[in-house]
Amino acid sequence: MSCRDLAGPRAISSFLPLFHTYHRRSVPALLRQSVHVACMGLLVFLVVKAANAQNPAALLEQARIDEKAGDYVAAEKIYEQALAVEPGNLETHKRLGVLQQTELKFAESISHFKRALAGDPKYPEVNFFLGASYLGENDFAQAVSSFKQELSTPKPHPRCRYYLALALQSLGRVDEAISQFQLAVTDNPKNADALYQLARIYKNASVQAIDRLKALDQDSFQLHALMGEVHADEERYAEAVKEYQAALAKRPDAPGIHFAIGVAYWVQHELGEAKKEFLEALKENPNDAFINLYLGDIGVHEARFAQALTYLQLASKGQPNMAQLHTLMGKCYRGMAQPQEAKVEFLAAIDADPTAAQPHYLLAQVYRDLHNQGASEAELAQFENLSKQEKESAPEKGPKN
């Protein structure tokens, strides 16, 4: 008799006469009672086992336990047993398909997902898992179709757009893939995988474009200007300047190049060269807020406060709420011995950026100039507190000695 026979109704009915025959034997009462209890326990176990063998919910729970334990073979057998009891159970088809997908049995999983969808074309998340199995089979067109069907359901799987984008990318439909990755990031701004894929696509496209520019003309204005931007982004400012200057040699009237060179010099603290470039850039656009801001900053460093203030006032028309702009204007007024005006600007800088420490320190100096010791000490306390917070939140730049 097999294990399955032992759990069936026939086995239970054949077991009862044996039980009663044994019970009637002439044995001590205590032993007879012990045998009775043991046999009744076995009987109950067999009854429960027989009931569970016919209970899909119990079978699914056991399969889940086996899956968690990593015993996929046992889990798969139980799912198949559950389908033998209830062939049309959509959840069982789904879960067996997911298990087979985990085992990389993509063809088998596709079969079960399709059976689930035959019962309900929008059964929760099945279209997503079907698309994932098609991806495993490198059938990207079918994967796209399944993922799009999943997106039409009331509650699509949260990773659906990401995998749809991967399938589209594999088909060479890059623009559509970009759109789906961007939508995935819109749905979840912390979707690092989608952001990574977007960065890869843009990086690859940039490299390809540069290679094509080089193939067209190694000494073109466009290539030199682009390489200047690349070097600047990589903080290789000396090389950026050389490329920008080469671009200007090709096209002296190109807008924006003088400003880019000026920024590269300014970052390297070569303020004299930066000023020359910003003045050239100012001829192109006299009212540009950022050109005037840089010239104002250089003027403050040179202690040319009246001239710097003229540039900064022009910059404020385009960027009225910039904290750094108000800080520079405050420095100009203080340098021109106008403490009340300086106070107004430093307060505006604090209002624009409450987390910045420097304006509080400068305002403390102004209050000291105005003989307001209490206010000066209060601002210094704020400065020290914010400076401490800035240091604590700043990323480590290297090992400590």
Domain around 344: 310-391
Strands, E, within 188-250: which ranges?
none
Higher pLDDT, residue 22 or 176: 176
Domain membership flag for residue 287: no
Q: Which long-range contacts (CB under 8 A, 24 or more apart) does 258-263 make?
A: 258/284, 259/284, 259/288, 259/290, 259/291, 260/228, 260/229, 260/232, 262/291, 262/294, 263/232, 263/294
pLDDT number for residue 69: 85
Mean pLDDT of the 211-240 span: 94
What six digits make up the tokens of 308? 């710097």
pLDDT number for residue 13: 45
8 A C-beta contact, residue 254 and residue 225: yes
* Each residue's pLDDT tens digit, 69-111: 888 899 889 989 998 988 889 999 999 999 999 999 999 999 9
**In the predicted structure, residue 2 carries a pLDDT above the cut 80:** no
Domain membership flag for residue 338: yes
Domain membership flag for residue 365: yes
Mean pLDDT of the 26-30 span: 51
Domain membership flag for residue 209: no
pTM over 0.85: no
Q: Which amino acid is at 228?
A: G
* Each residue's pLDDT tens digit, 333-380: 999 999 999 999 999 999 999 999 999 999 999 999 999 999 999 999
CA distance 381 to 190: 37
Domain membership flag for residue 341: yes
Count the helix, strand and coil residues of the chain and give each as a percent rounded to the nearest 5. 80, 0, 20
**In the predicted structure, residue 299 carries a pLDDT above the cut 60:** yes
Domain membership flag for residue 350: yes
Most confident of 39-48, 58-67, 202-211: 202-211
Place 62 in a pLDDT band, splitting at 50, 70 and 90.
confident
> Which phi-psi region, left, alpha or beta, contains residue 184 (left: φ > 0; alpha: ψ -120 to 50)?
alpha
Closest CA to 93 of 76, 113, 107: 113
Mean pLDDT of the 61-67 span: 85
Domain membership flag for residue 297: no
Closest CA to 128 of 149, 108, 110, 97: 149
Q: What percent of the chain shows pLDDT beyond 70?
A: 85
pLDDT number for residue 44: 39
pLDDT number for residue 242: 97
pLDDT number for residue 48: 39
Mean pLDDT of the 20-42 span: 50
pLDDT number for residue 59: 83
Domain membership flag for residue 377: yes
Average pLDDT, the chain: 87
**In the predicted structure, residue 67 carries a pLDDT above the cut 90:** no
Q: How many domains does the chain have?
A: 1
Mean pLDDT of the 38-52 span: 45
Mean pLDDT of the 213-231 span: 93
pLDDT number for residue 393: 78
Angle between helices 358-369 and 373-393 (to 10 degrees): 170
What six digits make up the tokens of 84? 């033998």
Mean pLDDT of the 116-134 span: 96
Mean pLDDT of the 152-160 span: 95
Place 60 in a pLDDT band, splitting at 50, 70 and 90.
confident
Q: What percent of the chain shows pLDDT beyond 90?
A: 73
Q: What is the domain-level CATH number for residue 320? A: 1.25.40.10
Higher pLDDT, residue 19 or 185: 185
Place 295 in a pLDDT band, splitting at 50, 70 and 90.
very high
Closest CA to 181 of 201, 165, 169, 196: 165
8 A C-beta contact, residue 146 and residue 131: yes
